[in-house]
Amino acid sequence: MTSPSAESRPVDDPAREDPDQDGALLDAVVVGAGFAGIYALHRLRRLGMRVEVLEAGDGVGGTWHWNRYPGARVDVESLLYSYSFSPELQQEWRWLHRYAPQAELQQYADHVVDRFGLREHITLNARVVAANYDAGENTWTVTTEGGLTRRARYLVAALGSLSIVNTPSIPGLDDFDGLTLHTSQWPEEPVALRGKRVGVIGTGSTGIQLITAIAPEVEHLHVFQRTPNFSLPITNAPMDPEYERGFKQDYGDRVEAARQSSGGLSAGAPVIRSALDVSESERQRIYEEAWQAGGAGVLRAFTDLMTNREANETAAEFVRSKIREIVRDPDVAERLSPRGYPIGTKRICMDTGYFETFNRPNVTLVDVRSDSIVKMTESSLETASDSYPLDVVIFATGFDAVTGPILNMGVTGPGGTELPPRWENGPRTFLGLATSGFPNLFMVGGPLSLGVLANGFFAIEQHVDFLANLLEWARERGYGRIEATPEAEDGWVRHVAELAHRTLYPEGPSWYVGANIEGKPRVFMLYSGGFANFRRECEEIARSDYEGFVFSSS
Ligand code: NAP
């Protein structure tokens, strides 16, 4: 660790330029006004920092602003999928549904921004297209698509893991005369689907929600499925006031209990048994109970579902048996049944009547794995052996996840170093927070962090609190330049890979490993050790005076 040099200028030097003037130096620019960016803004401002958020969209809320497709709804219980940093906020806010729909989450984001006086520090319609580090000045200069520039000591990328849209290039797509939509770029005004012949490509979490929501209204729905997905019922309902009252009475304890669980998703009793240590009938009883309770309980019913293939198969087969029970046409049921990969290794989906949708006479499942999409014409989608006349095509085809957002932000470090060549074989970060060779660049929920493998809000708060404490620690010591060491980064990359290989995760052809994007390196991009362990590891690093980071003055 290096010490501050004589010419250092402390980060909080009051003699610095007025940040309100154009081109003046800010302490931090945060990119993204999703829930991560909002909290980063609030937390860093509480440290007395001058911070501005640049947001590409025309509203706050990040993923919940963009993903406004019909049926969009969170699949983690809202009383837990929300900020915990303010007990007052927790008590005041009333969730109307057990699992909030997109509009409610959007309102929550707006409410938080206004309640904590953050709106004036957020610039909307400001998509960052370049971020350049000036080693002489130790500053980042950030440029938006519209030509706005901002200079800051710290650059905080709060980009979300799922913000770079993946749209497959289908020959003839531009010739299609009908309407083309992507779920993640859904228009703000309502889209008229009533009486239309609609095709949905993609059956991930998004497709499953969308298909269920629009099937009753469209004339005919063709579902173009490449890989069948495991989906569990969430049993959403309007919020029960009694339940809410009880929850709010010991909110803090419930949140802390949930934080002890691997994903920060459940406040329930910890499971202690292997799926293979119980009788077949007992196992079925436990799965059935979890299925009826709703949520991801089936996946959490035993200790070893994500580590033992044989145990995992018992849960997978239970879900397949449910599909056979629900879907009347055995051929359709079989085509909807996931095989060949462990349940949970592609992100588990949650639904409210998805499989039932395939009993409707106006819904047709098309298996594009065996009969692939070859082109679009003016009026139809063509597979190798058939033609489907359509008025609307909806892409529910996901994202260039986890690494896509930061690799597409035009980041250049000292001497013009770019990130993509450095990450050619997979992302390289320390804690998912920093990457060596790029001083003062920090990611919230970046690659190799816990990120989306846990309750998003818990992960965000942990990541941002760690960053804020790191910046405060550095400021108190007069350091204005912080960088992850290559050694710490190497160790973290290895550690995350080792953890992943103790699980079944790398076996799934998922966006977790970049399998959905052609040419992307196949690396498991998330920390799979669970929320409590991630937090513990971070606390140890903080206690060791942030070993793994190197500090210097500006
Ligand atoms: P996704 O899970 O990546 O699913 C994309 C779907 O599109 C997959 O079925 C994929 O098939 C298909 N696809 C992609 N390219 C295709 C092509 N060329 N031809 C045919 N099919 C193609 O994306 P997503 O559904 O948007 O979900 C992404 C993540 O967002 C989720 O995993 C979840 O973390 C989050 N999400 C959460 C919620 C919630 O909380 N309720 C809701 C929506 C999304 P393959 O599987 O074969 O690649």
| pLDDT tens-place string over residues 527-551 | 999 999 999 999 999 999 999 999 9
* pLDDT at residue 144 is higher than 70: yes
Pair 178, 393: CB distance under 8 Å: yes
Helix then strand then coil, in percent of the chain rounded to 5, is 35, 20, 45
How far is residue 450's CA from residue 447's CA, in Å, rounded to a whole number? 8
CATH number at residue 117: 3.50.50.60
Is the whole-model pTM more than 0.85? Answer: yes
How far is residue 309's CA from residue 307's CA, in Å, rounded to a whole number? 7
**Closest residue to atom 12 of ligand 1, CA basis:** 202
Do 180 and 271 fall within a single domain?
yes
Confidence (pLDDT) at 365: 98
Distance 331 CA to ligand 1 centre (A): 23
Q: Which residues pair with 364 in a beta bridge?
A: 222
Nearest to 159 by CA among 187, 192, 183, 131: 131
Residue 520 belongs to domain spanning: 25-164+401-552
Distance 200 CA to ligand 1 centre (A): 12
Nearest to 185 by CA among 348, 7, 378, 397: 397
* pLDDT at residue 101 is higher than 60: yes
Neighbour tally for 432: CB within 10 Å = 26
Q: How many CA atoms lie within 13 A of 549 on its CB side?
A: 30
| pLDDT tens-place string over residues 170-218 | 999 999 999 999 999 999 999 999 999 999 999 999 999 999 999 999 9
Which of these ranges, 14-18, 35-39, 269-273, 277-281, has the smallest mean pLDDT?
14-18
Do 513 and 534 fall within a single domain?
yes
How does strand 139-144 pair with strand 128-134?
antiparallel
How far is residue 436's CA from residue 379's CA, in Å, rounded to a whole number? 51
Do 411 and 371 fall within a single domain?
no
CA distances from 498 to 109, 263, 430, 504 (A): 36, 18, 15, 12
* pLDDT at residue 263 is higher than 90: no
Tracing tokens 């030097």 back to the chain, one arrives at: 13
Indicate whether 12 belongs to any domain.
no
Do 148 and 268 fall within a single domain?
no
Atom of ligand 1 nearest to the CA of 183: 26
Confidence (pLDDT) at 366: 98
Distance 511 CA to ligand 1 centre (A): 8
Terminal-to-terminal C-alpha distance of the chain: 14
Query: What is the domain count for the chain?
Result: 2
Do 191 and 205 fall within a single domain?
yes
| pLDDT tens-place string over residues 276-308 | 999 999 999 999 999 999 988 999 999 999 999
Do 341 and 207 fall within a single domain?
yes
| pLDDT tens-place string over residues 229-261 | 999 999 899 999 999 999 999 999 999 888 887
Do 96 and 186 fall within a single domain?
no
Residues having CB closer than 6 A to ligand 1 are 73-75, 162, 168, 201-207, 209, 224, 226-227, 347, 350, 368, 373, 396-399, 452, 511, 516
Indicate whether 10 belongs to any domain.
no
378, 395, 412 - which closes a domain: 395
Indicate whether 8 belongs to any domain.
no
**Closest residue to atom 36 of ligand 1, CA basis:** 205
**Closest residue to atom 23 of ligand 1, CA basis:** 398
Atom of ligand 1 nearest to the CA of 452: 34
Confidence (pLDDT) at 82: 97
Indicate whether 109 belongs to any domain.
yes
Do 353 and 288 fall within a single domain?
yes
Structure tokens given for 537? 């590891």
Distance 401 CA to ligand 1 centre (A): 10
Q: Which of 200, 206, 402 is the pocket-test mutation for ligand 1 (most atoms within 8 Å of CB)?
A: 206
Indicate whether 140 belongs to any domain.
yes
Mean pLDDT value of segment 499-514: 96
Indicate whether 499 belongs to any domain.
yes
358, 379, 395 - which closes a domain: 395
Confidence of residue 44 (pLDDT cuts 50, 70, 90): very high
Do 388 and 471 fall within a single domain?
no
Mean pLDDT value of segment 372-398: 98
Confidence (pLDDT) at 269: 64
Mind giving me the DSSP string for 102-139?
HHHHHHHHHHHHHHTT-GGGEE-S--EEEEEEETTTTE
Average pLDDT, the chain: 93
Tracing tokens 């499953």 back to the chain, one arrives at: 208
Structure tokens given for 138? 């130790």
> For a pLDDT cut of 70, what percent of the chain falls above it?
95
Question: Tell me, what DSSP letter sits at residue 462?
Answer: H
Indicate whether 92 belongs to any domain.
yes
Q: Which of 226, 368, 402 is the pocket-test mutation for ligand 1 (most atoms within 8 Å of CB)?
A: 226
Tracing tokens 């905080």 back to the chain, one arrives at: 156
Confidence of residue 71 (pLDDT cuts 50, 70, 90): very high
424: phi then psi, degrees, rounded to nearest 5: -55, -40
338, 373, 395 - which closes a domain: 395
Do 301 and 155 fall within a single domain?
no
**Which H helix or E strand runs over 30?**
strand 25-31
Q: How many CA atoms lie within 13 A of 165 on its CB side?
A: 15
Indicate whether 504 belongs to any domain.
yes
Do 118 and 132 fall within a single domain?
yes
Q: Which of 181, 347, 388, 522 is the pocket-test mutation for ligand 1 (most atoms within 8 Å of CB)?
A: 347
Do 513 and 416 fall within a single domain?
yes
